[in-house]
Amino acid sequence: MTKPGIKDIARLSGVSPATVSRVLRNPGLVSEDTRTRVMAAIDKAGYKPNRFGASLRTQKSGNIMVVIPDITNQVNAGIIRAIESEAQKAGYCILLGDTQGKPEREQHYADMVNSGQADGILLFTANLPFSLDHSRPLLGQLPPLVNANEANEYDEIYKVVIDNRAGAQAAMEHLLELGHTRIAAVLGPLETPTSRERLAGYRQALEHANIEIDEELIIPGDYGTESGRLAMEKLLKLRHRPTAVFCFSDDMAIGAVSVLHQYGFAIPGDMSVMGFDDIRYATLLSPALTTVHQPLEEIGKASMQLLLQQLKGEEPEQRYIVQPFSLVIRQSTGPVPR
Amino acid sequence: MTKPGIKDIARLSGVSPATVSRVLRNPGLVSEDTRTRVMAAIDKAGYKPNRFGASLRTQKSGNIMVVIPDITNQVNAGIIRAIESEAQKAGYCILLGDTQGKPEREQHYADMVNSGQADGILLFTANLPFSLDHSRPLLGQLPPLVNANEANEYDEIYKVVIDNRAGAQAAMEHLLELGHTRIAAVLGPLETPTSRERLAGYRQALEHANIEIDEELIIPGDYGTESGRLAMEKLLKLRHRPTAVFCFSDDMAIGAVSVLHQYGFAIPGDMSVMGFDDIRYATLLSPALTTVHQPLEEIGKASMQLLLQQLKGEEPEQRYIVQPFSLVIRQSTGPVPR
DNA sequence: TAAAAGGCTGAAATCGTTTACATCAACAGG
DNA sequence: CCTGTTGATGTAAACGATTTCAGCCTTTTA
């Protein structure tokens, strides 16, 4: 038999299609009696409402677009998992968009929302891939949207982030307390606000401690393991080496650690290494990595909830949610070598 | 102005809606002249065809459901990325379904296909969450489907895998060649065919080398880092310890290595450690992990292509694709300690 | 007992496309 | 000059659900 439609169920249970629809969407409107009869027919026929028909009528897809720069990244993956779980609970599906850093792909995914394929969008990039008329208020021009993790410049937009500057400061203060004064930084991509914020925290902590900033110790990076390796190679070649290095991601820290091991340096004996993110592997590294913990689960959950509220038409009480970070001190940091 | 529909474009360019549709779906049927006129109107109005209408008519969603057990896992994430990229090229979107190991979620995601929300499904679990009549041929009962990575029992189903048994054997042969005779195995979940295959490879290699299998050295695990830690704790308590351990995933190997470090054992001096997967972090571990490389990108790509062929109605030349693994020898394995 | 209210249900319009079929003009071949 | 063919377009019927509106039948209320 061909796949049953709402009409088939209607016929089977001796009611009109309208009533079948009500049984599914609004059971309260239907009498106990017919409801059970219709439900029985639905079960027996194995009827699944065709989403297209419903979507066409309601103009709701039941999908949420999630745009991330790289699914392979542990931080993103962790957040996505939470998001997916929340979405499913709320009856939504996740459309995954991995931009691999390319703006045209961002654009493409944003169009999904414009064409109605998704009801809302969760952006993990700082860019806003929508054409905007800046003379008018933003909110009216945008679909339901939440910007998470990488905060863009627009104040009006719903956001979920951690205080990256404070996180970096906390990291630095830990190193300063251990007596380090020559502390290198390995940055993330400077296009990302996250990385700029962390850099600001780095500078601020040093200034606060009255330590002159040596630009030679600030090494560019891209959050990836390989760039951590390269950065450490560079640092080791310096005639006046740092005694500690603050990597803006755990991945880079892991890269840096591997280079130190390779050349036989002791951690933290010869150099302290500090990460950022607290990915799953941080604790398994030898020595276990001191780092700044990001609550991935909570970030994901909060983003999703903020989006769901918008989709329900509610006005969330706050449009800017800051999740708490925490400094996790493990074994990769220690006092300055004498 | 409200969002323009196909009728608006028709009016704007002085043609019928049918022609507008043709311009978009089948430009060949339309004269050069009107085509440019219509395109101009589309651009000017910023018209995006509403997918619901089209989907309702064509019964195609343009979505592909991807069902995986855990997005956080590096192996899965790597495959997904390739899949997503291929899908996008082909004009499809990825609906992400993370089952977190729960069968009811598998079921739920499979229903997406039944309700037409996705045109095909990519399964990374061994389970087939569809109600089947086993007396009839399977192929007619299933939607376009590819089973990747975890091979289920059904021969008729399209699959992309690596030869896990041979991979495990290769790993074991490497250890045997190094002179190891007491080799432990840390398994994945035995519900997964992958893990059973690897176990078979383990046994086969030992039998082939005429080494009696000591069941004490076979430790259950779940592919996660923590279970690797626990397994190693167990192994270290044995009165007659192994000299090498073959972990069925890199994650478990990383866990095992961390325990060895913790207790001050040298790798591979005191014990050799072998992984499986070759995740990104394998090479950064100290010592770098010897492991079996899985071509994630190729697995993802092949799965997607197999699915796309089905969606196009083509019959793929082979329905069972085996991707090559390769043994990657790094520093975590070495000769037996004397 | 009449009117009002409330509970349930069905008829029919509607959402925005696609596409089979009809139409019509132009043109080629006989 | 007629006929058949081709190319370009329009007409209108789907596709499968939701939802407004109206109608009917009970109850309640005055």
Average pLDDT along chain B: 94
Mutate to test the interface with B, among A44, A89, A96 (most CBs of B within 10 A): A96
Q: What is the pLDDT of residues A28-75, one digit of tens each?
A: 999 999 999 999 999 999 999 999 999 999 999 999 999 999 999 999
Give the per-residue pLDDT at A63: 96
Of A49, A56, A283, nearest to B52 by CB-CB distance is A56
* B171, part of any domain: yes
State how far the Cα of B338 lies from the Cα of B269, in Å rounded to an integer.
10
CB contact under 8 A, A53 and B53: no
Same domain, A135 and A68: yes
Q: Does residue A334 belong to any structural domain of this protein?
A: no
Supply the CATH number for residue A215's domain: 3.40.50.2300
Is the pLDDT at A197 greater than 90? The verdict is yes
Query: Are residue B72 and residue B113 in the same domain, yes or no?
Result: yes
Residues 6+ apart with CB under 8 A from A136: none
Longest dimension (CA), chain B: 89
The alpha carbon of residue B205 is apart from the nearest alpha carbon of chain A, in Å, by 30
Same domain for B139 and B244?
Answer: no
Number of domains in chain B: 3
pLDDT value of residue A141: 84
With respect to residue A333, please indicate whether it lies within any of the assigned structural domains: no
Q: Would you say the C-beta of A291 is within 7 Å of strand D? A: no
Q: Are B214 and B261 part of one and the same domain?
A: yes
| Same domain, residue pair B187 and B117 | no
Q: What angle do CA B81, B82, B84 make, to 5 degrees?
A: 65
Chain mean pLDDT for chain A: 94
- Judge if A175 and A265 occupy the same domain: yes
The secondary structure of residue B280, as a DSSP letter, is G
A337 in a domain, yes or no?
no
Could you tell me which chain B residue has the CA closest to the CA of A118? B51
Indicate if CB(A261) is under 7 A from strand D.
no
CB-nearest partner of A258 from B114, B225, B286: B286
Are the C-beta atoms of A248 and A200 separated by less than 8 Å? Answer: no
When pLDDT is averaged across residues A324-333 and rounded to a whole number, the result is 98
Domain limits at A300? Answer: 61-161+296-323
The rounded radius of gyration (Å) of the Cα atoms in chain A is 26
Q: Would you say the C-beta of B50 is within 7 Å of strand C? A: yes
Interface touch A115/B72, C-beta < 8 Å:
no
Here the CATH number for the domain that contains residue B11 is: 1.10.260.40
Whether nucleic acid strand D comes within 7 Å of the CB of A179, the answer is no
Nearest to B276 by CA among B158, B208, B194, B191: B194
Residue B1's pLDDT is what? 61
Chain A residues with beta carbon closer than 8 angstroms to that of B285 = 258
Question: What pLDDT digit, counting tens, does each position of B117-126 carry?
Answer: 999 999 999 9
Q: Are residues A280 and A311 in the same domain?
A: no
Give the one of A115, A225, A229 whose C-beta lies nearest to B50's C-beta: A115
d(CA B281, CA B265): 21
Question: Computed over its alpha carbons, how large is the radius of gyration of chain B?
Answer: 26
| B198 and B263 housed in the same domain | yes
The answer to whether the Cβ–Cβ distance between A254 and B284 falls below 8 Å is yes
Is the residue at B247 inside a domain? yes
- Going by pLDDT thresholds of 50, 70 and 90, the confidence category of residue A101 is confident
Q: Which nucleotides of strand C lie under 7 Å from a protein CB? A: 7-12, 14-20
Average pLDDT of span B17-42: 94
pLDDT for B282 equals 97
Q: Do B181 and B245 fall into the same domain?
A: yes
Non-local (6+) Cβ contacts of A88 within 8 A are B105, B108
User: Is residue A177 exposed (0-12), middle (13-18) or buried (19+ Cβ within 10 Å)?
Assistant: exposed
- C-alpha B257/C-alpha B302 separation (Å) is 33
Q: Are residues A106 and A184 in the same domain?
A: no
